[in-house]
Homo-oligomer: A and B are copies of this chain.
């Protein structure tokens, strides 16, 4: 079976492993079993008509005496590009707007409060080509671009916070390009933007040809439904990045991504989940899906022949909780919407149990890291 056909780990395990052992397999792989979220029949039908997967799960927390449950529904969207990569730029953007609007409509039927799209969701992930045209034409203003205005409409219409990761053109600062997530409040107002802090130079992901390391630090956005942050793609490999969003109070950290099977798949289920555990918060990992073909051939810095695609985006979007549990992933091959209901009270409950922010000795690390970045740093090595 080829890797781009394999639908999902969960499906294979469910098919073959007998029930008695399956519960142990699931406990070890996924943690505490999650309830399925009951979804309205209209949403289920609509997803099926529109040809995307729809799944729902509930992360519960214990009842408290002094705090009411803080229940929020979060939607993650993974999707293929709609038109070929050589279609006119505006057609490609518009087709993606339409596709995603259709999926957001179903999210609204499911009562979603906060929705996040995949990285650079208005375009193919064309940075592998290292060509400028037409890809830089996909860049838009974070504050006033066509896509942000589109997301503002969605937000108001559905009373939903929209996290919209785009290629940004910053006209105020010299027309620079950035990999940016725009956070639109459910009021329709642009709450702000946050940029990708860590930029890959690996394989086909030589994105530093297009944009630089983000300069917006580790902002957290206070929404009506909780405090959220956005750790874009490559930032998930950097535990300190998650950590600083956590120190700034993020309750849910989104990780909109674009990554392919041969490069990163065995890491995919590890990194966002580790971050949820280590930082006592929820994390939401989103990957695009499908294979994108380009008109001009390109090489990948791996000694192999020039080619026109760089592999299969494996989807598998999931949500991880601070108690080590996680949702099953969306499909590896299909568009999908994952709806999870989170009780944000779980974060403090788990923090009070494990205490990582109390046992973390952060003052010691501030000092040690400050030393380690000095030119005269001497690693602490004991020799015989």
Contact = CB atoms under 8 A, between A and B. Distances in A.
Nearest to A244: B368
A197 B361 contact: yes
A266 B28 contact: yes
A68 interface: no
Given A3-B27, A17-B16, A197-B361, A270 B265 contact: no
A87 interface: no
Nearest to A278: B239
A349 interface: no
A1 B27 contact: no
Contacts of A219: 380-382
Interface in A220-247: 220-223, 227, 234, 237-240, 242-244, 247
A17 B13 contact: yes
Interface string A4-18: 001001001100111
A235 to B, nearest CB: 9
The residue in A222, A325, A373, A382 that gathers the most chain B C-beta atoms within 10 A of its C-beta is: A382
A362 B372 contact: yes
A311 interface: no
A-B residue pairs, 5 tightest by C-beta: A31-B266, A239-B239, A274-B274, A366-B370, A366-B369
Contacts of A218: 368, 380
Nearest to A265: B28
Contact of A359 (B198, B274, B360): B198
B369 A365 contact: yes
B201 A264 contact: no
A381 B227 contact: yes
Contacts of A240: 239-240, 243, 360, 362, 365
A359 B200 contact: yes
A219 to B, nearest CB: 5
A264 B324 contact: yes
A25 interface: yes
A217 B368 contact: yes
B269 A277 contact: no
B383 A222 contact: yes
Interface stretch (A37-45, A96-104, A134-142, A187-195): A187-195
A199 interface: yes
Nearest to A377: B247
A197 B264 CA distance: 31
A361 B198 contact: yes
A269 B31 CA distance: 11
A356 interface: yes
17 contacts: A12-B17, A17-B17, A27-B265, A29-B269, A200-B359, A202-B353, A220-B381, A227-B381, A238-B356, A239-B242, A247-B368, A267-B324, A270-B277, A271-B278, A362-B373, A366-B372, A370-B370
Given A198-B360, A238-B278, A247-B369, 10 more contacts: A1-B21, A16-B18, A17-B17, A29-B29, A29-B266, A189-B384, A200-B359, A249-B381, A270-B277, A366-B370
B365 A220 contact: no
A88 interface: no
A36 interface: no
